[in-house]
Homo-oligomer: A and B are copies of this chain.
Amino acid sequence: MSRIFNFNAGPAALPLKVLEQVKAETLDFRGTGMSILEISHRSKFFEQVLDDAIDRTRRLLGLNKSYHVLFLQGGASLQFSMIPMNLAVAGKPVDYVDTGTWATRAIKEARNLGKDVRVVASSEDKEYTHIPENVPVDRDAAYLHITSNNTIRGTQWRDFPDSGGVPIISDMSSDIFSRRFDPKPFGMIYAGAQKNLGPAGVTLVIIREDLLERVPKELPTMLRYTTYSENKSLYNTPPCFAIYVADLVLEWIEETIGGLDAMQKTNDEKARIIYGYIDSQDFYRGTARPDSRSKMNVTFRLPDPELEKQFLAEAGAAGLGGLKGHRSVGGFRASIYNSVTVEAVKALVSFMKDFAAKRG
């Protein structure tokens, strides 16, 4: 068994410790004589997993009682529609910041539903290579939607905008549980699990009680947030395995890493190592504006396409995987989510140095 250094953008690396536990429990989940894949979602065994995942999410993010922790399906992409369906308010605009692809898709779905969408800030004119500085706040908006980290362009909000009491809704698919932040301004936080939280197939939704009061009763059952909040995400069969792995990842953050502050410290160190190297030389060129750089997705280019082809091939041969940039922008992207180790980042930088020394 030889494991590579995995820089995939999502689905992405998971902690080896978590995978080893998944493996050990595959045929007999904690003495039940069944796999977690074979256990009823209404059994006490699964309920313990679900409760543990909810409790750990609360503790790690410091959520007070007014927040519900829910597990849905359909990825962030389904949330792009569910948010305006559930949380828009008649007669009020819904405000969005456009920081590229995922934010753009969220805007498109809200417009498609006929909502009064206002794009209050955008970095489209600079090809989304930075996070907008000024976000004009309209206190009348039903919500302000942002995307905390753009996986494709490698940009990330450093500080969240002051929304003056308007509930912020954030897609945190690619940086949830990577750093400490104050949850209070957020009315809702959502995240497809497959980057920082677990496998593909489950979407974490954290929603504040007062926003649930907006949910129109006439929406289809599976598209109402209240269906999940009133049934502890068990109205129908949830994606049990994905929730189970997410719970193991949350346990790993709390108990192996030592909590969110320790996780953030490690993530800061990894970002410092790779951006420090990029800034120290001229062969590789970071594509995001330095003040907007993501600590999760490091995007960079080489001097020409031929060198980029060689780089990709040689990196793969050296056991460094998943470095190819998103098909819409090209170049390279090293995703260094929570589960990517300092050792992996050092191996990447070492490879980059060697490659540049030979070609630069």
Contact = CB atoms under 8 A, between A and B. Distances in A.
A81 interface: yes
B1 A39 contact: no
Given A35-B19, A220-B113, A75 B3 contact: no
A239 B236 contact: no
B26 A23 contact: yes
A20 interface: yes
Interface stretch (A10-18, A140-148, A250-258, A342-350): A10-18
Nearest to A194: B237
A26 B19 contact: yes
Interface string A70-87: 000111111011000100
A245 interface: yes
B319 A33 contact: yes
A132 interface: no
Given A194-B237, A222-B74, A20 B27 contact: yes
B39 A201 contact: no
Interface in A138-169: none
List the 9 closest A-B pairs by CB distance, nearest first.
A201-B239, A4-B33, A81-B220, A73-B73, A23-B26, A77-B236, A37-B199, A78-B222, A201-B201
